[in-house]
Amino acid sequence: MTEQGYFTEESSADVVISRNDQAKDKRLAEVMEVITRHLHAAVKEIEPTQDEWMQAILFLTETGHKSDDWRQEFILLSDVLGVSMLVDAINNRKPTGASESTVLGPFHVADAPEKPMGAKICLDGKGEPMLVKGRILDTDGNPIAGAKIDVWQTNDDGFYDVQQKGIQPDFNLRGVFRTGADGSYHFWGAKPRFYPIPDDGPVGKLLGALGRHPYRPAHVHYIIEAEGFETLVTHIFDPDDDYIHTDAVFGVKQSLMAKFRHITAADRISTEGQAGAFYEVIHDFVLAPVI
Ligand code: BEZ
Ligand code: FE
């Protein structure tokens, strides 16, 4: 027995929390106290039947079974619950003027090849060519030289290369670029498409049961690193995408909208050495200083 007495419906959270009072790790004790309090409150509000509680246990079991070194179903669960974006927001409060972050997602690869500025990263020739360009700046508007820009996107079928090994060329639509003295960057990708997050597991089933779709609006991922600045993990989004207001993982922010302009003028097509119309996206990023 504890100071709180035996376990009752009323005292449940206090009794469990006081049992942890010898914990050596104070942060763990604090985290478990908050989780216990909120979890007990939720159970009291929901009043689940035994069958409903078992359904919840089986859902979590299936989520674990679906996960392996490559597929992380618990991260997907955190994504669709909005928790990934909330943790991201808490850990990336930026000074005024700095670019905002969004979710990393599961499709980044650490060893994408470094390419010369202006390189074509679309290796499968699918989709409409897209010139992406802009500058990496500090919060005073000065260019940042030597910034490393790691980009990745889906192909025209809505898949990342790592989802279609043996179908797409390795490192299709990925590249690492480094800015020169003027802080500018540009590369040639392909216009991205909306695509579903992996939805063949319990999280996909949950979305279906909730009447939610699994789609993310078309976007291009960036990780931007530069010495003396906070690393920025972000995307740019196509504001005209059908799913721009209902991203399955809540990653869209107003400041991350970029205009995907369709360029059809013959002089621009020939200056850029293109065979036909292409898309152009111009987006600057502002990095926050490390304090
Ligand atoms: C992505 O944008 O690559 C992504 C983010 C969260 C879940 C699945 C995919
Ligand atoms: Fe993505």
Residues 71-118: pLDDT tens digits? 999 999 999 999 999 999 999 999 999 999 999 999 999 999 999 999
* Count of all residues that appear for the chain in the document: 291
Start-to-end C-alpha separation, the chain: 49
* Cα 215 to averaged position of ligand 1 atoms, centre (Å): 10
d(CA 256, CA 244): 11
- pLDDT value at position 224? 98
Give residue 141 CA to ligand 1 midpoint distance, Å.
Answer: 30
**Model pLDDT for residues 122-175, shown as the tens digit of each residue:** 999 999 999 999 999 999 999 999 999 999 999 999 999 999 999 999 999 999
Q: How far is the CA of 283 from the centre of ligand 1 (A)?
A: 21
pLDDT at position 8: 97
**Per-residue model confidence (pLDDT) at position 165:** 94
- Cα–ligand 2 centroid distance for 104 (angstroms): 8
Which pLDDT score is estimated for 25?
97
Instruction: Tell whether the model's pLDDT for residue 17 goes beyond 70.
Output: yes
Ligand nearest to the CA of 153: 2
Whose alpha carbon is nearest atom 4 of ligand 1?
Answer: 105
Q: What is the 74 CA–ligand 1 centroid distance (Å)?
A: 13
| Residue 5 confidence (pLDDT) | 85
Residues having CB within 6 Å of any atom of ligand 1? 76, 79, 103, 105-107, 197, 216, 249
pLDDT one-digit tens code per residue, 173-189? 999 999 999 999 999 99
Residue nearest to atom 9 of ligand 1 (CA): 105
Indicate whether 32 pLDDT > 60: yes
Tell me the domain boundaries of the chain: 1-47, 94-199+207-287
State which ligand 1 atom lies nearest to the alpha carbon of 216: 2
The CATH T-level fold of domain 94-199+207-287 is Protocatechuate 3,4-Dioxygenase, subunit A (2.60.130)
* Angle (nearest 5°) at CA 192 between 148 and 188: 50
Mutate to test the pocket of ligand 1, among 73, 84, 203, 216 (most ligand atoms within 8 A of CB): 216
Near ion ligand 2, which residues have CB within 5 Å? Answer: 105
3 pLDDT higher than 90: no
Report CA(289)–ligand 2 centroid distance (Å).
26
What atom in ligand 1 is closest to the CA of residue 198? 8
Mean pLDDT, rounded, for 2-27:
92
Measured CA to CA, the distance from residue 18 to residue 152 in angstroms comes to: 48
Which pLDDT score, from 0 to 100, does residue 2 have? 56
Q: Which of 210, 211, 212, 175 is nearest to 190 (CA)?
A: 175
